Amino acid sequence: MKLAIVVAVALVSLVATVASKPDKLVCYYGGWVVYRPGDGKYDIENIDPNLCTHVIYSFVGLDTSGEIKVLDPWIDLPDNWGKDGFGRFNSMKKINPDLKTLIAIGGWNEGSVKYSETFAIPAKRAVFVKSSVDFLKKYNFDGLDLDWEYPNQRGGKPEDVDNFSKLLQELRVEFDKYGYLLTAAVAAAETSFTQSYDVPKLGQYLHFINIMTYDFHGAWEKETGLNSPLYMSKIEEGTSFAGFNTDASIQAWMKYGAPASKVILGVGLYGRSFTIIDQNCITPRCPTSGPGAAGQFTREAGMLGYNEICLAEAGAKKMWDDEAQVPYMSWGNQWVGYDDERSAKLKVDYIKKYNLGGGMVWSVDTDDFHGKCGKGKNPLMTVLNRELGITQSGTTTPDPITTTTEDPGTGPTEEPGTTEEPTTTTTPAPTAPPPTPSPTDVCKFEGFNRDPYDCAVFYRCWIYEGQYEYMKFECGPGLWFDPDLIVCNFPSAVDCTPQTP
């Protein structure tokens, strides 16, 4: 009898172990990246459908009525010579039948106030639930990813926490009728997510939880900082930054009740960059004068894609932080903290150690998808796929990539410090591009503003903390931005005169 009990316990343990094996690589794609110039332009056909288990198209928006709103019809829809992004995105399932496609709603630029006000009203939540189901049916997505940044923050209200949980419950009840997936992208740090979420309810209603374990530091601070450290550096011990790392965030989410099997660890395929004041001070927590120069592809000050970072390695000093278990790099007065193949593998080791649900990347368009750095195409995603052991219909085994395989243990090394890594490529580091226009130069009102001098260029403008911020876009060759239709149109159909509110 005792033997039977021991065998039964062993079998239950084995089943539990198998069930909790990481089995997801969730990949976000931003529809707007088709507007990037040159080798930075990324289209849906650049996505490898066999690298990811789930791909998420970003973003749609929310109308105050509760309906889902398409933000860029020319990119997303086939109407009026549009690019039919939704249709082409979901066509990837023909290549990989195991692939699941989701649509993400929200994002940083959508803000929080509109979501707070809309989802506080039960009737509007009901409208949203119906609109979501109709949208998934119409465009053939397999699920919805909620990216409300963030409940009870950025102008939200305390009741957002409960209203968000109610929304998830209402969505899940309806989604289960059709087999749709329900997920969310959520804040990472304990000081943030405890303001926004009832964690046990998220664990109950969501199929999995995409934790954005990146953007822990950036140019909004006055010192250099690592974008996505795996562990805490001793320099941050006892400070307000002590919880700003992947390990602290993941452990906090599980402490508050998130099931490990639903926790998806985020990996940024980009870095946060700074302009440093003293070129002899190149470690984390060195003083800065502002964001780093915009990259040639991403063209956003304070941020560089990995496809830009790896091209810069030859002319830069690349360092490894033994405590945080991530690299950083400097050249001239520029500094960037990021993830590379070595740190990506260490993060998969962490996922396996704690039996998490898998990994997530933001976003596919900033990996070295052309293979320009001599490490093969999509080197970071390839490491994540290989180390997670992802296999799907039609999947081929990725080409091996040589990476450092030290076990990070349970935290920083006993003799913490930084070690310099040799660089072998010969591509020169990027230099600062010409100054970008200020928001007041290009933003006359919220929404899409056309460039006053170039009809092929336009900006999406929004107000944050009383000031304009914007993202720049360019129409395809031979097209001008049409402010009336909010699409890129033929020049013959566009009045190329200054835009007014």
Active site (catalytic) residues: 149
- Burial label for 440, CB within 10 Å (0-12, 13-18, 19+), is exposed
Q: State the maximum Cα–Cα separation within the chain, in Å, rounded to a whole number.
A: 87
How open is the CA angle 47-49-54, to the nearest 5 degrees? Answer: 100
CB 197 within 8 A of CB 161: yes
Q: What is the dihedral of CA 483, 487, 488, 490, to 10 degrees?
A: -80
- How many Å is the Cα radius of gyration of the chain? 23
Q: State the Cα–Cα distance between residues 288 and 278, nearest whole angstrom.
A: 8
Q: How far is CA 105 from CA 67, 164, 183, 190, in A?
A: 11, 14, 11, 23
The DSSP annotation for 390-441 comes to: ---TT--PPPP--------TTSS-SS--EEEEP----PPPP-PPSPPPPHHH
Note whether 383 and 401 are within 8 A (CB).
Answer: yes
- Count the neighbouring beta carbons within 10 Å of the beta carbon of residue 237: 11
Residue 291 and residue 345 in contact, taking contact as beta carbons nearer than 8 Å: no
Helix (H) or strand (E) holding 383: helix 379-388
Q: Other CB atoms closer than 10 Å to residue 456's CB: what's the count?
A: 19
Tokens of 333: 């007065």
Nearest to 109 by CA among 366, 445, 471: 471
The position carrying tokens 């020169």 is 428
User: What is the torsional sign of CA 71, 77, 79, 83?
Assistant: positive
Q: What are phi and psi of 356, to 5 degrees?
A: -75, 170
Backbone phi, then psi, for 414, in 5-degree steps?
-65, -35
| CA-CA-CA-CA torsion sign (20, 24, 25, 31) | negative
Tokens representing 286?
A: 């060195």
465 Ramachandran zone, left/alpha/beta (phi>0; psi -120 to 50)? left
| Element holding 469 (H helix, E strand) | strand 467-474
| Cα separation, 367 vs 395, whole angstroms | 19
